[in-house]
Amino acid sequence: MDRRNFLKLLGISSGTALISSCGVDKANEKIIPYVIPPEEDIFVGNPAYFTTTCTECPANCGMQVTANEKVYHDVRNIFPTKLEGIAGHPVNDGALCMRGQASLFRLYHPDRIKRPMMRDGDGNFRVTTWKEAYAKIIVELAAATGEGKRNMYFSGRTTGTMSGLTDDFCKEMSVERLPEFEVFSHANLKKANDIVFNRPEIPHYRIENADFLLTVGADVVETFMNPVASANHIQKAKDKNNLSWYHIEPAVSLTGVQASKRFAIKLHSEVYLLAFLLQSLSQQNSLKKSLPARISRLIPDYSITVIAERTGLSEENLRLLLSRFANAKTPLIIAGGVSTAQENGLETAVFAALLQWATGMTDNTVDFDHAENYGSVGSMLDVRKLEDSLKNKQVGVLFISRTDPVTYLPEAEQFVELMKNTRLRVALSDFMTSTVQECDIVLPLSHSLEAWGDAAPRKGIRNVIQPAIEPQYDTRSEGDILLQIMAQKSGAASAQFYNDYLIDKWHSLYGEGETVGMLERGYREEPVPSLPAILSGDGTEAFLKNAGFVVESSDKPVLVITPSIRAYDGRSKVLPLMSEIPDPLTTITYGEWISVSDKTAKKMGWKDRDEVAVELNGVSLKFPVKVQHLLPENIYMVQRDLIYPQATPVDSRSGEESWYVKDISVNATGNHIPMPIMSGSMHEDNRGLLPPEEEEHPYEHKEEHPVGRMYAPHEHDNYRWGMAIDMDSCIGCSACVAACYVENNLAITGKKAHLNGREMSWIRLEPWVKDDETINYDLMLCQQCDDAPCEPVCPVYATYHSKEGLNTQVYNRCVGTRYCSNNCPYKVRRFNWFDFRLPEPWDKMYNPEVSVRTRGIMEKCTFCIQRIRHAKDKAKDENRLVQDGEITTACAQTCPTNAITFGNLMDKNSRVSKLAHSNRAYRALEELGTEPAVHYLPKKESKEEA
């Protein structure tokens, strides 16, 4: 049943609102009517907005879909063209990460499985009908139970109503539901909280309430838990209680670079640091709660010198940390990521929990009542269990849903072999993953933008999932599939639809009115019972008694396999946009690389793009080198999605898999691999892109020569659009870049083009290494200069200065001399070298408001002028001027930390003018006298820290 009738049944119509975007039909000479017009009042210029949930990663951000009316292949229909966070949503509050922005590429992906398939006699997949597939499953299930075998349901993280339905299904069909499989299971965290507080959960960290944040390895702004929320809350904390945020990590991460202070720590030695902090703090009794003696005496106690030696932190830094904790009112410690996924991981997590408890832990900071919904997520131990029962041929039918163990497990081949020991393997998936290849029946899943559902990212929040487009292929939602199988078994004439099932559930849970409210809002916050976390002496003591602390003695090279901000655990790699956008730390787009410490590189004489062979676990893998500043010597980094899963030690207590591959050897092969590193140089040399340093002010001569001008300065009557970018808030997550791609129909140009320096991004993040100690970013987009060098040189007026201060580009007037780009000191103009455009069916996502540029045309950022135009149109109807905050650009809209402020510089009270005139503000390459409309607020040098 389609959403229209469903909504009728609910008696509501989806909320239309805010910004819109639309367009007349493409230049086809036909004019296509609807056969049946949609129920909602959607017409050109008035798109529909649906509230739903992002399912690109387990964070489940609330998402608002913009669905536009347009004609595609001679059919007038509505298509989702843009995704944005739901403003005020408890998880992501309006923001969305780059993966979320890009998930339209999954919806329209050509490689999606388009119809159910079944393996035939000679082992090939052939298209089948749902009924047939179900029948086979039912038969096999019965047969398996007959044989006394166990059927198993193995899925990715499942929350909300779907979880309940799965249980019903399993009961009904006598199937065992296995713990869910997630690569980032955070098993050590859960275990540690179990040990220390008897709460085997991952609490909801309320960073916004902290005044001191210590992140131990947890890449909170990249992949840890909910990066969007964390980033957002860190900003809130900065504003509210002037948060200072320290990060400790053995390698280097974007998160570390963004923290106000970053300490590189020796491998495995986090636990010593934490122990030291506990002991020293209690000795100078600045602990809020003192640990019971039986615990504290089990905590190793070393002198500061020893610790300094073990951890590699200087003594003054250790003292600094101590004083921070001593003075902090509401400190917050988040251990995770590289620091908990290692031999000492569990200990680290436990000590972090203890330190948190001792330095003051309230529901304001560490909130177990709203714990992240990881309860039913298993660990490697559960995978081992599954493998055992497969080994012993105990499994009849194996359902594998929304997860891809064959890709993620080191022992892939073995697992494939074991899978063969089952009667029947049923895959529920949207893509032909390596796991699906090994199954007998493939049931294609609809994208969450084509299906109904709900999700519970953490306790107390229920997110709605509702479709914005009808299924494009013969796919179904997991809910429908399970219900239909059950129905077919019980011989019912027709199955209940999952959305009916949902409503019944929702009605019974929240009542009708609330259900409607929830659908309009897109989420519902529900009260949860509050029970405080109490320190469990026994558990902790028992653990500490036989806890062993690995000491990293050898300085052999170690490979750290890190998560990827672009691909998460690898699942988002199918989104082409994620390869098109540079990795924020290295600015590499396509292909694989190994990050090598600059010190090591210097020693070995390696440069970017030199190929090295990495010997690990008996195999030799080749990678091109990327020199990475701030990375400690002998540490190498490869992102998880760029290397096959490596066999690493698994903690027998928690089932957490270590991310370190030890005793590797790295040798240059002498080859050079072309690699698209977007950054021409990481050294800014005080050129005026970053704020000038006090001592040598590059603009010192500025007063000496006043700017003479041949032409009168530009007049602006009502508007001059401008932007303020706070690089202190910016965390380099690149969500803005993704948003720009989708909003403005930017083309995906591919690896070859990138190697030739032909990327199309209108906005980019530029990392700058400062004296090998810090990496600062600037966000470069068209500066909309008032005295723009690009304008006078265009022979045909294709680019010109609009009355509102924009350097607009009239695409169909451009003849392509490229003079404007040559003359642009910011190099933010992009030339369309070939007919760069999205291939079908991805072009369904094109924003009809924005022209798709063709071959030989120069294109550029115009502050999302389509949004400006629409706002002005609206204002004109109401016969007023555009208000401050009424328009926001795509990049600003999706920024988790609201680092970007867009508005009217002519309006002295607009937020942007206030920021632009703050004494922190500076402009890029100001010396050139281009009078940019973009004002930067520099990263605050944490001087008081040192």
> What would the two tokens of residue 934 be?
């973009």
Q: Is 858 in the site for other proteins (CB under 8 A)?
A: yes
In the set 10, 13, 76, 615, which binds other proteins (CB under 8 A)?
A: 76
- CA dist 291 and 273 (Å) reads 17
Residue 86's nearest CA partner among 35, 18, 155, 8 is 18
What residues between 786 and 805 interact with other proteins by CB under 8 A? Answer: 789, 792-797, 800, 802-803
CB proximity list for 314: less than 8 A, separation 6 or greater:
308
- CA dist 156 and 711 (Å) reads 64
- CA dist 617 and 662 (Å) reads 9
Cβ at position 562, least distance to other proteins in Å:
23
What stretches of 850-939 adopt beta strand conformation (E)?
Answer: 858-859, 900-904, 934-937
Cβ at position 822, least distance to other proteins in Å:
5
Cβ at position 818, least distance to other proteins in Å:
3
- CA dist 250 and 216 (Å) reads 9
Cβ at position 623, least distance to other proteins in Å:
23
Helix (H) or strand (E) holding 425: strand 424-429
Residue 677's nearest CA partner among 610, 776, 731 is 610
Q: Is 18 in the site for other proteins (CB under 8 A)?
A: no
What residues between 577 and 636 interact with other proteins by CB under 8 A? Answer: 587
Task: Name the residue nearer to other proteins (CB basis): 18 or 412.
Answer: 18
Cβ at position 804, least distance to other proteins in Å:
8
Cβ at position 600, least distance to other proteins in Å:
24
By the 8 A CB rule, do 861 and 721 touch? no
In the set 143, 432, 921, 925, which binds other proteins (CB under 8 A)?
A: 925
The dihedrals phi and psi of 125, each to the nearest 5 degrees, come to -75, 135
Residue with tokens 């030799």: 620
Letters for 732-761 (x = contact with other proteins by CB under 8 A, - = none) are: ---------------------x--xxxx--
Cβ at position 185, least distance to other proteins in Å:
38
Q: Is 13 in the site for other proteins (CB under 8 A)?
A: no
In the set 3, 23, 113, 650, which binds other proteins (CB under 8 A)?
A: 23
Q: Is 928 in the site for other proteins (CB under 8 A)?
A: yes
Residue 597's nearest CA partner among 571, 630, 639, 569 is 630
Cβ at position 734, least distance to other proteins in Å:
14
Q: Which amino acid is at 223?
A: T
Q: Is 866 in the site for other proteins (CB under 8 A)?
A: yes
- CA dist 828 and 254 (Å) reads 24
In the set 33, 121, 529, 618, which binds other proteins (CB under 8 A)?
A: 33
CB proximity list for 200: less than 8 A, separation 6 or greater:
190, 191, 193, 194, 375
The burial of 138, by beta-carbon neighbours within 10 Å (0-12 exposed, 13-18 middle, 19 or more buried), is given as: middle
Q: Is 119 in the site for other proteins (CB under 8 A)?
A: no
- CA dist 850 and 740 (Å) reads 12
What residues between 134 and 193 interact with other proteins by CB under 8 A? Answer: none
Q: What angle do CA 243, 245, 250 make, to 5 degrees?
A: 175
- CA dist 833 and 316 (Å) reads 55
What residues between 78 and 117 interact with other proteins by CB under 8 A? Answer: none
- CA dist 69 and 77 (Å) reads 6
Q: Is 832 in the site for other proteins (CB under 8 A)?
A: yes
For 164-185, the DSSP string reads HHHHHHHHHTTEEEPPB--SS-
What residues between 756 and 775 interact with other proteins by CB under 8 A? Answer: 756-759, 764, 766
> What would the two tokens of residue 214 be?
């210590």
Span interacting with other proteins, options 320-328, 730-738, 824-832, 886-894, rule CB under 8 A: 824-832
β partners of residue 458: 372
What residues between 250 and 309 interact with other proteins by CB under 8 A? Answer: none
Cβ at position 760, least distance to other proteins in Å:
9
Cβ at position 828, least distance to other proteins in Å:
8
Cβ at position 586, least distance to other proteins in Å:
13
Cβ at position 870, least distance to other proteins in Å:
10
In the set 7, 18, 32, 142, which binds other proteins (CB under 8 A)?
A: 32
Q: Is 839 in the site for other proteins (CB under 8 A)?
A: no
Residue 533's nearest CA partner among 278, 205, 160 is 205
Task: Name the residue nearer to other proteins (CB basis): 696 or 944.
Answer: 696
The burial of 39, by beta-carbon neighbours within 10 Å (0-12 exposed, 13-18 middle, 19 or more buried), is given as: middle
Task: Name the residue nearer to other proteins (CB basis): 252 or 682.
Answer: 682
Q: Is 881 in the site for other proteins (CB under 8 A)?
A: no
Task: Name the residue nearer to other proteins (CB basis): 371 or 753.
Answer: 753
Q: Is 75 in the site for other proteins (CB under 8 A)?
A: yes
Q: Is 550 in the site for other proteins (CB under 8 A)?
A: no
Cβ at position 927, least distance to other proteins in Å:
9
Query: Three-class SS string for 84-138?
Result: EECCCCCCCCCCCCHHHHHCHHHHCCCCCCCCCEEECCCCCEEECCHHHHHHHHH
CB proximity list for 410: less than 8 A, separation 6 or greater:
644, 645, 646, 647, 648
In the set 375, 472, 817, 941, which binds other proteins (CB under 8 A)?
A: 817
SS3 457: coil
By the 8 A CB rule, do 49 and 4 touch? no
User: Which residues in 729-740 are b (16+ Cβ under 10 Å) and which e?
Assistant: bbbbbbbbbbbb
Cβ at position 834, least distance to other proteins in Å:
4
In the set 358, 678, 742, 781, which binds other proteins (CB under 8 A)?
A: 678
Measured distance between the N- and C-terminal CA atoms of the chain, rounded to whole angstroms: 63
Q: Is 699 in the site for other proteins (CB under 8 A)?
A: no
Q: Is 396 in the site for other proteins (CB under 8 A)?
A: no
What residues between 210 and 249 interact with other proteins by CB under 8 A? Answer: none
What residues between 481 and 540 interact with other proteins by CB under 8 A? Answer: none
In the set 9, 12, 17, 24, which binds other proteins (CB under 8 A)?
A: 24
Q: Is 48 in the site for other proteins (CB under 8 A)?
A: no
Q: Is 825 in the site for other proteins (CB under 8 A)?
A: yes
Q: Is 45 in the site for other proteins (CB under 8 A)?
A: yes
In the set 556, 702, 818, 917, which binds other proteins (CB under 8 A)?
A: 818
Cβ at position 134, least distance to other proteins in Å:
28
Q: Is 346 in the site for other proteins (CB under 8 A)?
A: no
Q: Is 12 in the site for other proteins (CB under 8 A)?
A: no
Cβ at position 257, least distance to other proteins in Å:
16
Task: Name the residue nearer to other proteins (CB basis): 224 or 721.
Answer: 721
Task: Name the residue nearer to other proteins (CB basis): 443 or 864.
Answer: 864
Task: Name the residue nearer to other proteins (CB basis): 713 or 757.
Answer: 757
Q: Is 815 in the site for other proteins (CB under 8 A)?
A: yes
Helix (H) or strand (E) holding 140: helix 130-146
Cβ at position 588, least distance to other proteins in Å:
13
Q: Is 849 in the site for other proteins (CB under 8 A)?
A: yes
What residues between 894 and 913 interact with other proteins by CB under 8 A? Answer: none
Span interacting with other proteins, options 88-96, 260-268, 870-878, 913-921, rule CB under 8 A: 870-878
Cβ at position 351, least distance to other proteins in Å:
41
By the 8 A CB rule, do 699 and 923 touch? no
- CA dist 51 and 3 (Å) reads 13
What is the DSSP code (8-state) at residue 459? Answer: T
